[in-house]
Amino acid sequence: MSFLSHLECSRCRKTHDADRVQNLCDCGGPLLVRYDLKAVARAVRPADLAGRVSSLWRYREVLPVRDDKNIVTLGEGMTPLFPLPRLGAEIGLPDLWLKDEGLNPTASFKARGAATGVSRALELGIKALAMPTNGNAGGAWASYGARAGMSVTLVMPTDAPAMSVLEATAVGANAYMVRGQITDAGAIVGRSAKAHGWFEAATLKEPYRIEGKKTMGYEIAEQLGWSLPDVILYPTGGGVGIIGIYKALLEMREMGWLPENVRFPKLVAVQAEGCQPIVKAFREGKDVSEKWENASTVAQGIRVPKALGDFLVLQAVRETGGTCVAVSDADTLWGLERISRQEGAFICPEGAALVGAARMLLRDGWLNAGQRVLLLNTGAGIKYPDVMSPKLPVLELNATL
């Protein structure tokens, strides 16, 4: 069962009824889901998870769906976590690890947020969803919406990855493109949602996407035997993943699921040099970011000029002693080539940016070779066929190699 209690505004702390359809607080702040964690601690311990379903729904007590019949699932979660010894040796981090979200349904971590978001929407009686997307989120929400029998409308930039566009349309989304950024797509959705009776499911404009993504934090702890890495590097666009992982850490600590003396991992928000609003705010000591003009990067999933939850990302980074760093497209492509060839892990450009970031932070002395460093890859490389375009030699029929 779920121990869902209420919703709480992340800005003004006002409480809201979790069993009503909700977007933002009256003050404009994103709403966070709260549970009766003391009751959860009495009801379940980490050892009780053994033998449960191998998906994110194994953490049922701290997920927001009250009735099992409303769970919409494609088997998301419990993605592999494994060491990267060859890559680690090359860049000077011998205890380097990867959690690979590319093996989720819809081939990205967005499946987690879609699973919990669509499930809760179904439970609350929502029939039609609308959202802006850079690609992967749209494909995920369209897929889970189709499974739930919901209408899904998407607006995405004209240069969104072709595979994500194909995915969204294949499962029946009403998809449109705009000559602009995701913020421009969001403005169109915002203007249109009320007129058509759509529920606006944009990043952090509904409370339940975070709940699916926070399960990455639960899984990391469980997969490492209820210990934690020293550092987690995360590609940051809208920032829901890093917000969710920090939320999971706080929940696990309150429930006593982590050892009393455990230190939280330092959370590192990685952005692109061509779109680094959160990095700039961090360096300037600000609590919120400014919109980044003329955003451009090969890693389109982190091309978010202004994140609604930027203040929550900055809070998570600062409270864990982490940092924010921007990576050039050249370093991102270098990271993609090295992790693919050294470890056989063909990851997405957003995840590849973490390789370049780790090398940079080690060179700067922020990381050291004795730390356990976890790279959280958010999607599969095969969804970005235009990023690497090999030109192979063509053989004649009578050729010999």
pTM score over 0.85: yes
* CB environment 54-63: b (16+ within 10 A), e (fewer): ebbbbbbbbb
The SS3 assignment for 95 reads coil
pLDDT score of 256: 97
Q: Torsion-angle region of residue 138: left (phi > 0), alpha (psi -120 to 50) or beta? A: alpha
Name the maximum alpha-carbon separation found in the chain: 75
Residue 39 has pLDDT above 90, yes or no: yes
Taking residues 318-337, report their average pLDDT.
97
pLDDT of residue 284: 98
Phi/psi for 139 (5° steps) reads -60, -40
Q: Band the pLDDT of 388: cuts 50, 70, 90.
A: confident
How confident is the model over 63-88, as a mean pLDDT? 98
Quote the mean pLDDT of the chain: 96
Q: What angle do CA 201, 202, 203 make, to 5 degrees?
A: 120
pLDDT of residue 261: 86
